[in-house]
């Protein structure tokens, strides 16, 4: 199995009863400021507040009865966790969730609200993976990796599928990059449907492991990134992700922390949407002029909206 | 001139280039909690952040060249002001705005961002009207009243027109009531298109002048209400509004201040939308079970999203 348009279409058919077809918004003020036409795919309004519901539902509803019997397990900074807990509840199976200490309260509450069984661990991939492996061995739960999994990538690609159905004539699609699940799904969907489109991933400069890996041609690991974009604090992209990224993605650009905060604020001021820092990362690339886009039609995936309002970074504490 | 489906349709054709066709969102968690199907018309995502852009554009683009020559003037708690400033800028004329002292910073910035010329006045209708009359006499600007104006009501009614085009089988439409402009437009549009639909206005109990007037059959004035719903702090409905409300609206119900805050919070927690207190008022009526709606399809107009995030009422200061 790999990832192609057929598996993304199959994922869409499989998950359609369980997810929302999210709105695509436009905004004249943003367009005027950028000198381009922006189409925002509002996955911040997706079930459980992020695109992660797509991949999690596809993985959970792809399991055979025997595979599903002992539930699922994953590690996640939060949105994949909530999405997997929700998908498992929809299927009536258990979800074991390994989360790093210090995850935002909004994300913890989110997991709990869907009945996920949380185990906290130290930050960093090795601690997460060890905790996951222990739970899988003890319970028989199936691992649903947050990004290094073709079923998950196929689910994430359905957001771009919908966006390209709803908006014709897109020149560029932008999405944030953490582990690369959304980017792989988006790139394979977009390039398969419209080979001339450009697909650009955007990473915080503080978490630029995928940008480095993309250029090096081999997976580069970094220490746990301190970026405000808590959804993108991955150490490394996945084994299955990097070849797809190298094949289908045109470029990976990086943005500053101040740019991420400014982008969040601008999206609130102009669009009246609160998005989480990770979701503001692609817009920051436009504000920071990280590539040429004048006059283009740009699709942008607003990846999630799970944020603690008490901690909005541009407000005084 | 009065208000009917034809004038609302004409308004829609007139303003379409200048406003957004806003999304209608649904949410399974809210539906499950209420035992009903909710369809949320997102005027919080409208141009200038509120449905007021509809009425203001219809009024401004209805003016003859001679009428428009000296600009427009109004008094408003903020959203009509911003919308009128925006509409005037789109037409290339001046907008004089009388605002009560203490209006939220978000609303003041909004007016300024569209080039509105602000005059601050004391709270209360008589002070507002006096300031407006003085400006009109001095400049020749045309008054565009925030609600007691058929052109404005016709524009506001286009939100319900779109909602009924997008969602079939609605049983009930809910909207917040301040002066009654949105309610009149909504009720005339809805009852004309679908006579069996119920139209219910919702007011803060602290600002129940329209509920009182509806029952008394005559306009009741109250002193300036202290409700958190700053968009609904009207002393009295309009001369033109009350007869329409009595003819077309089924009921006016009222909600508590705590209910408004709880509704705002629930809309954020479940839907990831920040709406202003006025926009949460109808949802509060559902949470407080103010009328019978089990199993019904309910359209709800989320009227606006202009709120100071620093002052979200459920967060600690």
In this structure, chain B runs to a length of: 317
C-alpha span between A179 and A76 (Å, rounded): 11
What average pLDDT does range B82-99 have in this prediction?
96
Give tens-digit pLDDT for B208-250.
Answer: 999 999 999 999 999 988 999 989 988 899 999 999 999 999 9
Question: Among B45, B299, B1, B7, which residue's Cα sits nearest to residue B157?
Answer: B7
Given the residues B53, B191, B303, B316, the one annotated as active site: B303
Mean pLDDT of chain B: 94
User: Phi, psi (5° rounding) for residue B31?
Assistant: -60, -45
C-alpha span between A48 and A45 (Å, rounded): 8
Predicted local confidence at residue A316, as pLDDT: 61
A263 inside 8 A of chain B by CB: no
Predicted local confidence at residue A124, as pLDDT: 74
Helix axes of A181-193 and A5-15: crossing angle, nearest 10 degrees: 110
Contacts of B305 in chain A (CB under 8 A): 272
Are B85 and B114 spatial neighbours (Cβ–Cβ below 8 Å)?
yes
pLDDT tops 70 at residue A317: no
Predicted local confidence at residue B77, as pLDDT: 65
C-alpha span between A306 and A50 (Å, rounded): 7
B305 inside 8 A of chain A by CB: yes
Probe site for chain A from B272, B309, B312, B314 (most A CB atoms < 10 A): B272
Give tens-digit pLDDT for B150-163.
Answer: 999 999 999 999 99
Q: Which of residues 28-57 of B touch A (CB under 8 A)?
A: 28, 44-45, 47, 49
**Third-level CATH fold of A53-143:** Rossmann fold (3.40.50)
Count interface pairs A-B at CB distance under 8 A. Answer: 40
What average pLDDT does range B137-144 have in this prediction?
96
A247 inside 8 A of chain B by CB: no
A15 inside 8 A of chain B by CB: no
Q: What is the CA radius of gyration of chain B?
A: 18
What average pLDDT does range A124-147 have in this prediction?
92
Helix axes of B241-248 and B209-216: crossing angle, nearest 10 degrees: 70
Given the residues A52, A191, A240, A290, the one annotated as active site: A52
Contact B26 A47 (CB under 8 A): no
Give tens-digit pLDDT for A246-288.
Answer: 999 999 999 999 999 999 999 999 999 999 999 999 999 999 9
Contact A309 B305 (CB under 8 A): no
Contact B25 A44 (CB under 8 A): no
Residue A64: CB atoms within 10 A of its CB come to 8
Contact A312 B309 (CB under 8 A): yes
Place of tokens 């792989």: A184
Which sign, positive or negative, has the C-alpha torsion B229, B235, B238, B242? Answer: positive
**Dihedral in degrees, nearest 10, Cα atoms A221, A226, A231, A236:** 0
Predicted local confidence at residue B126, as pLDDT: 83
A104 inside 8 A of chain B by CB: no
Predicted local confidence at residue A117, as pLDDT: 95
Helix (H) or strand (E) holding B87: helix B79-91
Residue A278: CB atoms within 10 A of its CB come to 31
Place of tokens 């997008």: B166
Let me know if B240 is a catalytic residue: no
B317 inside 8 A of chain A by CB: no
Let me know if B52 is a catalytic residue: yes
Mean pLDDT of chain A: 94
What average pLDDT does range B21-31 have in this prediction?
93
C-alpha span between B316 and B311 (Å, rounded): 9
Give the residue range(s) of CATH 3.40.50.1100 domains in chain A: 5-51+149-311, 53-143
Residue B317 binned pLDDT confidence (cut-offs 50, 70, 90): low
C-alpha span between A161 and B121 (Å, rounded): 52
Residue A78 binned pLDDT confidence (cut-offs 50, 70, 90): confident
Q: In what order do the strands lie in the sheet with A95-100?
A: A117-121, A95-100, A72-75, A142-143
User: Phi, psi (5° rounding) for residue B208?
Assistant: -95, 30
Which residues, at least 6 apart from A91, have a Cβ–Cβ distance to it below 8 Å? A60, A61, A63, A68
The rounded percent of chain A whose pLDDT value lies above 90 is 85
C-alpha span between B193 and B299 (Å, rounded): 14
C-alpha span between A20 and A305 (Å, rounded): 14
Lowest mean pLDDT among A110-114, A277-281, A312-316, B62-66: A312-316
Contact B315 A309 (CB under 8 A): yes
Predicted local confidence at residue B178, as pLDDT: 95
- Choices 3.30.360.10, 3.40.50.300, 2.30.29.30, 3.40.50.1100: CATH for A5-51+149-311: 3.40.50.1100
Give tens-digit pLDDT for A141-182.
Answer: 999 999 999 999 999 999 999 999 999 999 999 999 999 999
Predicted local confidence at residue B109, as pLDDT: 86
Contact B268 A309 (CB under 8 A): yes
Burial (CB < 10 A; 0-12, 13-18, 19+), residue A65, is exposed
Contacts of B23 in chain A (CB under 8 A): 23, 25
Give tens-digit pLDDT for B278-315.
Answer: 999 999 999 999 999 999 999 999 999 999 888 888 88
As beta bridge partners, residue A96 has A73, A117
A306 inside 8 A of chain B by CB: yes
Q: Largest Cα–Cα distance in chain B?
A: 56
Contacts of A47 in chain B (CB under 8 A): 28
Shortest alpha-carbon distance between residue A162 and chain B (Å):
16
What average pLDDT does range A32-58 have in this prediction?
96
A10 inside 8 A of chain B by CB: no
């Amino acid at each position: 199995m790999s990832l192609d348009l057929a598996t993304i279409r199959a994922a869409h058919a499989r998950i359609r009863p369980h997810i929302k077809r999210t709105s695509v918004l436009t905004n004249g003020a943003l367009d005027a400021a950028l000198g381009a036409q922006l189409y925002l795919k509002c996955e911040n309004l997706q079930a459980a507040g992020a695109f992660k519901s797509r991949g999690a539902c596809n993985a959970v509803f792809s399991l055979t009865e025997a595979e599903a019997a002992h539930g699922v397990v994953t590690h996640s900074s939060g949105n994949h966790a909530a999405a997997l807990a929700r998908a498992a509840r929809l299927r009536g199976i258990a979800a074991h969730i390994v989360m790093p200490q210090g995850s935002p309260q909004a994300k913890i509450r989110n997991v709990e609200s869907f009945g996920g069984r949380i185990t906290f661990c130290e930050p960093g991939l090795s601690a997460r993976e060890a905790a996951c492996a222990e739970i899988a061995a003890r319970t028989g739960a199936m691992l649903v990796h947050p990004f290094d999994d073709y079923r998950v990538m196929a689910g994430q690609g359905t957001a771009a599928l919908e966006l390209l159905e709803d908006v014709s004539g897109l020149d560029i699609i932008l999405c944030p990059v953490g582990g690369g699940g959304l980017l792989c799904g988006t790139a394979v969907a977009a390039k398969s449907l419209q080979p001339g489109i450009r697909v650009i991933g955007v990473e915080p400069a503080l978490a630029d492991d995928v940008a480095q890996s993309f250029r090096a041609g081999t997976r580069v690991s970094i220490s746990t990134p301190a970026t405000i974009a808590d959804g993108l604090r991955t150490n490394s992209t996945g084994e299955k992700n990097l070849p797809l990224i190298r094949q289908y993605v045109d470029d990976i650009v990086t943005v500053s922390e101040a740019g991420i905060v400014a982008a969040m604020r601008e999206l609130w001021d102009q669009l009246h949407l609160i998005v989480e820092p990770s979701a503001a990362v692609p817009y920051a690339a436009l504000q920071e002029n990280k590539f040429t886009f004048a006059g283009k039609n740009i699709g942008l995936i607003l990846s999630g909206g799970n944020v603690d309002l008490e901690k909005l970074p541009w407000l005084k504490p």
